Amino acid sequence: MNSRIQIVFFVVTFATILSPTIAKLSSNYYDEICPQALPIIKSVVKQAIIREPRMGASLLRLHFHDCFVNGCDGSILLDDTPTFIGEKTAIPNINSLRGFEVVDQIKAAVDKACKRPIISCADILAIAARDSVAILGGHKYWYQVLLGRRDSRFASRDAANINLPPAFFNFSQLIANFQSQGLNLKDLVVLSGGHTIGFSRCTNFRSRIFNDTNINTNFAANLQKTCPRIGGDDNLAPFDSTPSRVDTKYYKALLHKKGLLHSDQELFKGDGSQSDRLVQLYSKHSHAFAYDFGVSMIKMGNIKPLTGKNGEIRCNCRKVNQI
């Protein structure tokens, strides 16, 4: 057994020990029923990222925001219906979530190849997030996704507003939020590293650049040109200096008080805390970040999955199946 296989086996085994719900899922779930499913997903994701590198971050974010609201069940993809208001218009999601068309393309391509709806929308999000990270960061960021989730038949805007951590949260609020999902401080620091790619809207960081004291003054001044006190809510700024590459620049920025969001900089305050030590570790050791990111993504990706006869396999990721 070569070293790469040993590492992947250990990551999956370790994450399984941490989260008993993972025992219901399997890394080879689609190997027999539709072995071409995962290669097709990777191909569609890769083409989407080639067209627009920012799409990798958008697909990763969809998976995060799905899992933090009633588990990883594909509910974030549901449009509003007469019986519920979905998650797309929740405050953390409205005018910012992207990538729904790519998910539609993946679903259509996989269902065509498999000759019927085989793969769940929830699993598509988990796989697309992993593939995005590996495409933009290289093979060391690849991790084994556990599969077999089913899709929910319900979504809740209220639940999204309650459970998704906003950009203004302080450290204790972030910890409490992650703990409510069965995640710990290390998961918080390493999963926040997902901000190694992508951009954020002015409305999310305006308060930080005008009011925070734990911020590099030149950094704040430059951002104020993009994000004035009034107007420009949808203007974008990158989370770090390499928004299309998964690397450790995000953590390096925190060391210099250049975290874009208030919640980002809360991870490093220079007081020697455990969070500080993790930020320092990941800023220097990309392999440590890559390995721990995989462990925490597996753990997060298996928050309250629907399995067995629960839920359904949607024919259209945007709507529940007609009964």
Q: What are the residue ranges spanned by the domains of the chain? A: 36-163, 171-301
Count of other CB atoms within 10 angstroms of residue 103: 24
Is 243 one of the annotated binding-site residues?
A: no
d(C-alpha 49, C-alpha 243), whole Å: 13
Is 320 one of the annotated binding-site residues?
A: no
The first and second tokens of residue 248, run together, are 């450790």
Model confidence pLDDT, tens digit, residues 293-313 = 999 999 999 999 999 999 999
Q: Are 52 and 58 in contact (CB under 8 A)?
A: no
Q: Are 67 and 124 in contact (CB under 8 A)?
A: no
Model confidence pLDDT, tens digit, residues 219-264 = 999 999 999 999 999 999 999 999 999 999 999 999 999 999 999 9
DSSP string, 32-67: TT-TTHHHHHHHHHHHHHHH-TTHHHHHHHHHHHHH
The answer to pTM > 0.85 is yes
Options 65, 256, 285, 287, the catalytic residue: 65
Is 75 one of the annotated binding-site residues?
A: yes
Task: Considering only CA atoms, give the Rg of the chain.
Answer: 19
Model confidence pLDDT, tens digit, residues 185-226 = 999 999 999 999 999 999 999 999 999 999 999 999 999 999
The first and second tokens of residue 269, run together, are 């305050």
Residue 249's contacts (CB-CB under 8 Å, 6 or more residues apart) are 196, 240, 241, 242
The one-letter amino acid code at 155 reads A
d(C-alpha 100, C-alpha 316), whole Å: 11
Is 3 one of the annotated binding-site residues?
A: no
The one-letter amino acid code at 45 reads V
CB-count burial class (<10 Å; 0-12, 13-18, 19+) for 320:
buried
Is 71 one of the annotated binding-site residues?
A: yes
Residue 279 predicted with pLDDT over 90: yes
Task: Tell me the average pLDDT across 83-97.
Answer: 95
The first and second tokens of residue 229, run together, are 């006190």
Is 80 one of the annotated binding-site residues?
A: no
3-state secondary structure of 191: helix
Q: Does domain 36-163 have CATH number 3.50.50.60?
A: no
Residue 130's contacts (CB-CB under 8 Å, 6 or more residues apart) are 142, 143, 145, 297
CB-count burial class (<10 Å; 0-12, 13-18, 19+) for 281:
middle
Catalytic (active site) residue 139:
no
**Residue 259: predicted pLDDT:** 98
The domain made up of 171-301 has a fold known as Peroxidase; domain 2 (1.10.420)
Is 165 one of the annotated binding-site residues?
A: yes
Residue 16 predicted with pLDDT over 80: no
